Chain A
Amino acid sequence: MVNTCYIPKTLEEALVLRKEKKAVPLAGGTDLMVAYKRGVGITPIFPFPVMIVTHLDELKGIRVEEDGTVVIGALTTSVEIARDERVPYFVRMAASKMGAVSLRNTATIGGNIGNSSPKGDLPQPLILLDATVVLQSIDKKREMTVDEFIIKAKKNRLNDDEIITEIRIPKPDYTYGYFRKIGTRKANAISKLTLSAIMKVESGVIKDFRASSGAAGPKVARSREVEKLLIGKLVFDLPSLVEDFVDAWDGVISPHAMPEFRRATTKNMLRYFLLECAKLPKSGIIE
């Protein structure tokens, strides 16, 4: 058992190593080092070659394009995301509540998506916002939504010659927003349940509605079909639509552990958000 570890100097080198050696990128190491640790004083052994990409500046940083799309380099850390006001609220909140400070200083957005855990903090708001992930190989580049990218727990569509290079978040357009993470405790917590939702209202009509549930099934749950139940409806009709809607959303999530809690609490939060929207308060985040 020998660990093979590469340290590419550039993205291009990394892409070559990825294609030729099938080396797995290790960025912050907060997932891989834990997954393959063997104990105190023993070096982890990875069942695949690894390349350390932490230092590749090409994959770091946040920029905003002309149409308002926020582009986050895959090696950007949670702390950097949480601090940057240009990043949509939901993603910033999720980044700020991820693990402990030390973890947030080193964990990256690319890693969090690549790890594809249903309890991962960032995929949930990214899926809400129809964010896309850019996958690059030495030969080509492709882009798909984070929702398409993550298949189920720990399974995604990354090919073995590809690297996640950036995440693109279209400019969100909403009147009301909601974000909640129920962690195992008040800090340094893994999610027990998360929920984000947004609603766009024009002249009393619901023009757009989206929700995404994290830690409530094998992957982050969204359903455009169920969301459609509300789109086009009048905000004032929400009180009469709410129960049917939350029941329909209940069919979208599939929690394995603590099902009663996760189902009841998801309904409670959605019901609360919708009934608050029905009051047509000042636009913004509903706490």
Chain B
Amino acid sequence: MAVTHITDKMKRVDAYEKARGEAKYLCDFHLPGMLYARMVRSTIPRGNILSINLPELPDGYYFISAKDIPEGGKNALHMIAEDYRCFADGDVKFIGETIGILVGSDRGVLYELEKMVEVTYEELPAVTTIDDALEKKAIISGEDNIMCKLECEMGENVDEVLSKADSIIEETFETGYQEHVHLETNSVACAYEDGKFVIYASAQCPFYIRTSIACTMGIKSDDIIVRQMTTGGAFGGKEHFPDVIAGPLIVACNKIRKPIFMIFDREEDMEFSVKRHPSRTVFRTGLDKDGNILGTDIKIYYNVGAYLTSSYVVLQRGVFHSTGVYRFPGARAWGFGVATNCFPTCAFRGFGAPQTLYAIEMHLDHIARKFGYDPAEYKKKYFLKQGEETITQGHIVEKVMLEEMMKQITDASDYYRKVKEYAIGSGKGIGISFYNHGGAFTGNGEQAIIKAKLKLKKEGEKVSILCGSTEMGQGFRSIMRKIVSDTVGIDIDNVFYDNPDTSKVVDSGPTAASRSTMVVGFLCEKAAKEMKERWNEGDFEVIKQYEHPEGHPWDQTTFRGDAYLGYGWGACVVEVEVDKLTKEVTTKGIWSSHDIGRPIDELIVHGQVNGGIIQSLGYAALEKLECKDGRFKQRSISSYIIPTSMDFPHQEYFFVDNPYPWGPYGAKGMGELVFNGADSAYMGAVERAIGRDTFKIPMPPEDIQGVVDRK
């Protein structure tokens, strides 16, 4: 019998089946009598629906829309708010909004029928950019198009600080949309089995779907079963968006009572699914005569699109991370969620933090260079330390090891030699960034909202892990089995974890917020410890529920207190060369160090570091997604450019050992952290190479040319 220990590097248990193409995704399944569905979507950003003219539908074909929602139901998907309509009804709020679905047995017929549906509109003025919305070109939400907002401050009064500063630097940074490019496209099926609706979904959060569409149907959550299907690389795009497909499908299934599948094409997935929030961050930073920061006033705008989804929470994270890993004498941040007639934006790895972290890093780079300091040394002066105050007037609970991490990567990259050698504008550059990511839900959300549970079930020598958290390529399935194997002391092959089925598992909360290993893994460790003690009691179950550590106040109405119990911390150096003729950027080296507590599995976390950093570099260098008049311009994987393995070189990576008391075997969250900082290190390097400041990402060669040409 071989126990897998935490210190063993393990091959992911699902690695072979996925690499060999043997893993079955939803589109590989067939159910007897199954039908397909195809969405009919709005083609204008805003307007009233005057008429929907359907072609004659063949026998066995249906058009399902808001009128088919049963009595007692509601034309809403319950995400965080209930504003996202299951079907547009009377009017449309963005291009791609679901008006109805066509259902039938032949996808080719559905494709042709969809082209024949004629929707006539009375077009209304739309706002499709942050500027349009702030200028109130049309009012689409509240009185001022601000769908949600918040404010935080700490330390000295920022207005006073700015009034007595020697100089004030005002800078505005912008980030673009980003598409998840999920491994497999969005796909959901709904069937009616033994008196219950059963949803099969490529999804991160089975229990979210259940709550969301129970609201639409006006039935109890328990009357719906959600079964997660193999899901790869969801990246946040399958946190709430599967609801948008599951809602219409359950309404259709209620009427037709046959299994119905909806599998997006790649182009459909790219054009008509949620994205990362485009952002604008404006700093007004007061400095003394030597360039020391006295205080900063930050205004943050996120384009949330037409519905709220998770945007308010995303915006909060953006605000809470807007001062980065730094403590200034005074700081104030305002966050505004701006409503537009664009496809709603939602969760994406980093969940609002990457936008403001990019901005603060570039801002500090610029100030440092302006006053003749090295960016690394300048930033180091402001590193947060244990016990110090955050922008929410909470405290950093843990030991902060940024200085050690900085030494690891500056040594490995030979940073100090290179910053001397690579003259500004020489075509060669090196940049450095520091970042963090608060683990799990904000404040006391884990206790107040999620109340995660996990169950272990012992049958003979076998142990099953029963929880709602999902494998989506990040290694959860392997990690959980490893925790049980090591803690109980049994062979990992005797530990079972299946894709969750909401009728069989307990709700451990959404697979999001870098919380699964840290929070659910910790419950698993606790349950496994109890199981080990009681091992000889025969067959039994252990259930554990989340307990919030004492002494960490949080007020969700004023956003004051300890926003996060533990942060992951990161530092990254990127070196580049910019081609003088073509402005093509070649990345020469990537060095990172992360504090993720104590790694739960070095091989799996290495995969996360590699992937997260490449995704962040793609965000900075390549992934341009423009929305023109409410429609995305890049709609295929040949026009929306994600990196290949050829685009970035081998990475050197480090960790520091800083065990976290409330995580399994000392582990903290890391899935999002590793996305949060390589972008700004890359842009810092590009800026040094071209000798210009930049103010936005993504920055492909044509935009670098534009910066260089700027007078």
Q: Which residues of A contact B (CB under 8 A)?
A: 38-43, 180, 182, 184-190, 192-193, 258, 260-262, 264-265, 268-269, 272
Contact = CB atoms under 8 A, between A and B. Distances in A.
Given A186-B647, A187-B647, A268-B582, 13 more contacts: A38-B108, A40-B264, A41-B27, A41-B107, A182-B584, A182-B701, A184-B641, A185-B622, A185-B646, A262-B702, A265-B581, A265-B583, A268-B581
A192 B701 CA distance: 10
22 contacts: A38-B111, A39-B265, A40-B264, A41-B263, A180-B582, A182-B582, A184-B641, A185-B647, A187-B644, A187-B645, A188-B646, A189-B641, A190-B638, A192-B702, A258-B702, A260-B706, A260-B709, A261-B705, A261-B706, A262-B702, A264-B709, A268-B581
B611 interface: no
Contacts of A43: 108
Contacts of B27: 40-41
Closest 6 CB pairs of A and B: A261-B702, A187-B646, A268-B581, A186-B646, A39-B265, A42-B108
A188 B644 contact: yes
Contact of A186 (B108, B263, B265, B644): B644
Contacts of B702: 192, 258, 260-262
Contact of A42 (B111, B643, B645): B111
B534 interface: no
Nearest to B263: A40
B380 interface: no
Interface centre among A182, A184, A185, A187, by most B CB within 10 Å? A185
B136 interface: no
Given A40-B263, A42-B111, A185-B622, A265 B582 contact: yes
A180 B580 CA distance: 13
B397 to A, nearest CB: 41
Nearest to A100: B644
Contacts of B268: 39
A272 to B, nearest CB: 5
Contacts of A258: 702
Contact of B644 (A185, A190, A192): A185
Contacts of A40: 27, 107, 185, 263-265
Interface string B97-131: 00000000001100100000000000000000000
B643 A185 contact: yes
Interface string B679-711: 000000000000000000000111001100100
A182 B107 CA distance: 39
Interface of B: 27, 36, 107-108, 111, 185, 263-265, 268, 580-584, 622, 638, 641, 643-647, 700-702, 705-706, 709
A64 to B, nearest CB: 32
Given A185-B644, A185-B647, A264 B265 contact: no
Interface centre among B107, B111, B268, B582, by most A CB within 10 Å? B582
Contact of B705 (A41, A188, A264): A264
Nearest to B261: A41
Contacts of A42: 107-108, 111
Nearest to A44: B108
Contacts of A184: 622, 641, 700
B625 to A, nearest CB: 13
Nearest to B265: A39
A261 B641 contact: no
A40 B111 CA distance: 10
Contacts of A185: 622, 641, 643-644, 646-647
Interface centre among A38, A41, A192, by most B CB within 10 Å? A41
Nearest to B584: A182
A192 B579 CA distance: 15
A189 B639 CA distance: 9
Contacts of B700: 184
B107 A261 contact: no
A264 B707 CA distance: 13
A269 B582 contact: yes
A167 B265 CA distance: 37
A247 B580 CA distance: 19
Nearest to B264: A40
Contacts of A261: 583, 701-702, 705-706
B647 to A, nearest CB: 5
Interface centre among B185, B646, B705, by most A CB within 10 Å? B705
Nearest to B618: A185
B628 to A, nearest CB: 12
B705 A39 contact: no
A167 to B, nearest CB: 25
A39 B111 contact: yes
B107 A39 contact: yes
Contacts of A182: 582, 584, 701
Nearest to B704: A261
A43 B107 CA distance: 9
Nearest to B702: A261
Contacts of A187: 644-647
Contacts of B111: 38-39, 42
A40 B108 CA distance: 9
Contacts of B705: 260-261, 264-265
Contacts of B638: 190
Nearest to A182: B582
Nearest to A43: B108
B257 to A, nearest CB: 23
A180 B36 CA distance: 47
B698 to A, nearest CB: 12
Contacts of B706: 260-261
A189 B36 CA distance: 34
A173 B263 CA distance: 55
Contacts of B709: 260, 264
A103 B645 CA distance: 17
A38 B647 CA distance: 31
Contacts of B264: 40
Nearest to A257: B702
Contact of A272 (B581, B584, B643): B581
A188 B265 CA distance: 21
Contacts of B108: 38, 42-43
A73 B154 CA distance: 73
A154 B241 CA distance: 38
Nearest to B708: A264
A269 B582 CA distance: 8
Contacts of A38: 108, 111
B581 A269 contact: yes
Interface centre among A42, A43, A258, by most B CB within 10 Å? A42
Contact of B580 (A188, A260, A268): A268
A252 B503 CA distance: 68
A270 to B, nearest CB: 10
Contacts of A193: 582
A101 to B, nearest CB: 11
A25 B295 CA distance: 68
B167 to A, nearest CB: 33
Contacts of B584: 182
Contacts of A189: 641
A73 to B, nearest CB: 27
Interface centre among B581, B644, B647, by most A CB within 10 Å? B581
A190 B622 CA distance: 13
A187 B36 CA distance: 36
A74 to B, nearest CB: 24
A42 B114 CA distance: 14
Contacts of A260: 702, 705-706, 709
B143 to A, nearest CB: 39
Contacts of B644: 185-188
A261 B708 CA distance: 11
A260 B708 CA distance: 12
Nearest to B706: A260
Contacts of B265: 39-40
B87 to A, nearest CB: 22
A42 B110 CA distance: 10
Contacts of A180: 581-582
